[in-house]
Structure 1
């Protein structure tokens, strides 16, 4: 399970995969990254295929904008023409648009793999323990992680209180007017929480000195080393299989 791995080696691997998906101008390579990311979530992390498809939708819409822009409002360059001539998609503009479309989905799926397999608390502790993240920033991030679900809970309590006052059941999805009316009380709630967090940070002595003990910080081992080597090997094989050796020859 990728969720049990140390977050920082996983972050490095995902950043390298993102850089590769941006640097390689080949639709087969982008499609291979999308397929590998989807298979990882479905078969290793046991995520629903419908969830994986739903994750692709916003990135596909974003990539569709690149596709239409490259096809309808293009200004061809020598690089785009040369690279697109090596792809099997007709005109250079359409070929470049397909690559950009798949690239958006590939980058999104690699990011989704990291987000869905990484617990935010472990990630922040790893940054503090291994990459010298400031305790002030780390505690502020912890406070933000707890604030987001508390805001949703507070909004639901406000809606229930208003519904009880009016003597009717609350709507399942709040309308625009009801949503706008929640802004001010939720802002006041967030300000109160921010003041408490600031007092707690001072009470914890986060500015007292650099030496600090971090409880429950993740540790790396052989599993992380195997994961990094395997991920880079798969990326290299994918590059060779889709574009590298074939183009070099």
Structure 2
């Protein structure tokens, strides 16, 4: 049975999505055109909302850091006039008030479009499936693969351990713990959390050695994602959409011979 709704993108091979994201990221970086960047943002957003059922508020929240990063480009270019000659020359061909303003807007949109592509991969890809795909199809060493699995398990354990420490200290002091720890409390948690991580790392190393991960022997990776027909269909659609956007930009600039 074919996957439906939000399972469509998650059922794809992570390496297929990685190849598509790298291709679109390269185009977003190399093509200095505001309309192309807007097309990337709109297409990626529609795919996430329609196929992955991602809330628009989640997408907007994830774009805040990238928007701030792009806003730095915007203010630097407008206030300090630090645009490159290439940016000004290309931006002069776009229908904005001035070349400087057009270059600034394009830099801002490029940061957001790169963020949208990165969010697409992060929201639609299971980290465990991605590591297993790298181990099977890209020959990622098992030592590195299982180390990544351990790190993925350690991060939530660290958060739970920190919460337990905060609750224990609050009970000892007879007060309600704050929702967000202050600077002093956060600094005081560094040493015990570091000790917890070191103990976990030691136990993990012993467990990996006991399972023979130091030996160069063939291994079986369970639940490794395989390439299917839907992967090639997705790759073809993504490549065709990117080609259509590039052709539209070239036609808008009059780069095709009459």
Q: Tell me the TM-score normalized by structure 1.
A: 0.96
Match of 1:244 in 2: 250
CA distance in 2, matches of 1:213, 1:178: 45
CA drift at 1:121 = 0.3
Q: Deviations over 1:87-137 (max 9, x none)?
A: 112222211111110000000000000001000000000000000101111
Q: Secondary structure at the match of 1:46?
A: coil
Match of 1:155 in 2: 162
CA distance in 1, matches of 2:217, 2:10: 30
CA distance 1:227–1:162, change in 2 (3 Å): same
Match of 1:164 in 2: 171
| Aligned match for 1:144, one of 151, 163, 169 | 151
CA distance in 1, matches of 2:238, 2:87: 29
| Aligned match for 1:207, one of 214, 220, 223 | 214
Query: Does residue 191 of structure 2 align to residue 188 of structure 1?
Result: no
| Aligned match for 1:86, one of 77, 93, 100 | 93
CA distance in 2, matches of 1:94, 1:204: 59
Q: Secondary structure at the match of 2:128?
A: helix
CA contact (8 A) 2:92 2:99 kept: yes
CA distance in 1, matches of 2:217, 2:111: 40
CA distance 1:78–1:178, change in 2 (3 Å): closer
CA drift at 1:81 = 2.8
| Aligned match for 1:62, one of 60, 69, 88 | 69
Which 4+ residue blocks in structure 1 deviate beyond 3 angstroms?
Answer: 75-78
CA contact (8 A) 2:76 2:82 kept: no
Q: Secondary structure at the match of 1:171?
A: coil
Query: Does residue 143 of structure 2 align to residue 129 of structure 1?
Result: no
CA distance in 2, matches of 1:87, 1:34: 18
Paired residues, what number? 248
Q: RMSD of aligned C-alpha atoms?
A: 1.2
CA distance 1:78–1:183, change in 2 (3 Å): closer
CA distance in 1, matches of 2:72, 2:217: 47
CA distance in 2, matches of 1:230, 1:80: 30
Match of 2:227 in 1: 220
CA distance in 2, matches of 1:77, 1:157: 52
Q: Deviations over 1:132-182 (max 9, x none)?
A: 101111111111100000000000111111112222221121111111111
Note the 1:46-57 alignment, pairs <5 A: 46-57=53-64
Q: Deviations over 1:190-215 (max 9, x none)?
A: 00011111111111111211411111
Query: Does residue 51 of structure 2 align to residue 40 of structure 1?
Result: no
CA distance in 1, matches of 2:87, 2:63: 26
Query: Does residue 113 of structure 2 align to residue 106 of structure 1?
Result: yes
Note the 1:6-17 alignment, pairs <5 A: 6-17=13-24
Unaligned runs of 5+ in 1: none
CA distance 1:170–1:90, change in 2 (3 Å): same
Q: Secondary structure at the match of 1:71?
A: helix
